[in-house]
Amino acid sequence: MNLIGKIFVVLIFVMSLVFMSFAIMVYSAHINWREVVENPKATPDKPLGLRLQVQNLRKDNDALKAQLDELTKKLDAEIADKRAQVAKLEQERDDLQAERDQLMAQVAQLTQQTRDAVAAMEAAHQTLAKRTDEVGNLRDLLRQAEQARHDALVRLVQRTDELHQVANELRALKERAVTLAADLAKAREVLTKFDLKAEPELYRDQAPPVEGMVMAAPINGLVEISIGADDGLMKGHKLEVVRLGNGENKYLGRIEVVRAEPDRAVCKIVPEYQRGPIQEGDRVVSKIW
């Protein structure tokens, strides 16, 4: 029950008392009504006059009305204050709801950003794995390329060395060709002086006058000697092997040229002419005089 209800209850109670007093007075009609109405002073036998009682009740009623008005004003002020507080709270509620909606929107945006970031990170991991595999493959290719380059460089160095060697050999051959040309010119002069033929067919079946040395002991019936094509030897020429020195002059046998190189030749031992074992250092001649 609010304050106004309480006030009305009090008023009803007061009016009930008033009407009850009226009823009592009516009931006691046999009493002097003037005295009853106009009695100025209350005594144990006679109550206060009704007029004075009404006046007192009106005063009390006015006081109660004034109190009621004051309470009503206070109530209106409190209601206005409460309404203001309610309005303020509603405004704060609206602000909080708006802030909540904004925060929910931010949360949704952050959630979407997080999902996008996770998706991007997964894509980055996949890309990283692919790039890692590509880097591994590139490293393998790089190692293979480096090995191929190294092999090519080694081959290049070898070819360069061979080229330098060939160049040196070519230069030596050119010098030797010059020397041989000079020797050939001198030989031709000598042959011309002694009226001899200069054609090499002269010595195709017979070895030219040469003299050399066995360079190694025979292996599998083959022996290497220190003279070769530069000395006029050709395949099929036959040479004699002798041992001279230390008081020993011995015929050891005959050998036949099977391969002639510029400064050496490989010969096979002719078995039917062998008279002793051939050793390193034995002399080789084209004819025994």
Q: Which residues contact 117 (CB under 8 A, 6 or more apart)?
A: none
| CATH class label, 205-285 | mainly beta
Alpha-carbon span 183 to 166, nearest angstrom:
24
**43 is written with which tokens?**
């005594």
* pLDDT for residue 289: 61
Distance between CA atoms of 113 and 124, rounded to whole angstroms?
A: 16
The rounded distance, in Å, linking the Cα atoms of 190 and 198 is 10
pLDDT under 70 in the chain at which residues? 1, 26-37, 42, 45-46, 187-188, 190-205, 247, 289
Residues in a beta bridge with 241 = 253, 284
Decide if 254 contacts 225 (C-beta within 8 A): no
Give the predicted TM-score (pTM) of the model.
0.34
Strand partners, 167: none
Q: What is the pLDDT of residue 18?
A: 86
pLDDT recorded at residue 30: 53
Q: Which residue bears the tokens 């036959």?
A: 238
- The pLDDT of residue 161 is 85
> Where exactly are the structural domains of the chain?
3-98, 205-285
CB half-sphere exposure, 82, CA atoms < 13 A: 6
pLDDT of residue 249: 81
SS (HEC) of 193-252: HCCCCCCHHHHCCCCCCCEEEECCCCECCEEEECCCHHHCCCCCCEEEEEECCCCCCEEE
pLDDT of residue 53: 75
Structure tokens that stand for 32 in this block:
């002097």
Whole-number Cα distances in Å, 91 to 77, 80, 203, 214: 20, 16, 134, 127
The pLDDT value recorded for residue 31 is 56
